[in-house]
Every structure is written in C-alpha cells, then in structure tokens.
Amino acid sequence: MPLLLIVMLFGVMYFMMIRPQQKRRREALAMQAELGPGDEIVTIGGLHATVTAVDDDVVTVEIAPGVHARYARPAIARVINRRPDAGEPVEGEPVVDEPANPIIETRKND
C-alpha cells in the first residue's frame, strides 16, 4: 500500500509539474527558432527591441535608432509583433480598415 501511494504521488507530480514545464520549454524553443528580422521582442530583462539580424545562437537587436545590441537566443522572452511579411493578408481576403480613434468625446462644453 505505501508503495502504491509513492507511485501515485510521482504520477501526479509528473502530470501537474514536469509535463507542463516541458511543454512551455518546447514552445519557447519554437518561438526562438522562428525569430527573424523585423520582429519586435522583449528580452528576459524586460528590454523592448526590434530584431535586425539572426545568427546561429545570437540575435542582433535594435534598441533605439542606430543602437544595436547582441543577445543569446535564450535571452528572448517573447515576441510582441511578428515581422510584417509574416502576417500579410491572403489574396482575395478583404482588408478592413480600423478607425483611427475609436474613442468618442461626449462632454458638454458650456
């Protein structure tokens, strides 16, 4: 009976902790592998930048106009916006223009 409890405890730990962590790691590796010039990213340190070049394990980013820095791929925490060519509309698909400012001023002026 105690051996069964230990096996069950290990099974619960695997499905509740180890497996989700492995899934998150696989997703992070896939995201880092898909990086390309023009992507807007956030590093693990919280730095917002735009990718300018990608090498094997180094990503060159532009922090400000004319300011470039090199980061290791694992230092990229997430991608905010993909490069423009990654999200082009499909031919024949209508392009919907969004209003410039959806907020409408409703105050009364006296």
Query: pLDDT (tens digit, 9 = 90+) per residue, 6-25?
Result: 999 999 998 888 899 999 99
Query: What are the two backbone dihedrals, phi and then psi, of residue 94, each rounded to the nearest 5 degrees?
Result: -65, 140
Q: Would you say residue 102 has pLDDT above 60?
A: no
In total, how many domains does the chain have?
A: 2
Range of the domain at 79: 37-83
Residue 2's pLDDT is 84
The tens digit of pLDDT for each residue in 48-62 reads 999 999 998 899 999
Inside any domain, residue 105: no
The tens digit of pLDDT for each residue in 72-95 reads 999 999 998 877 665 454 444 455
Inside any domain, residue 77: yes
- Amino acid letter at 61? V
Q: Beta-strand (E) ranges in the chain?
A: 40-43, 48-54, 58-64, 67-72, 76-81
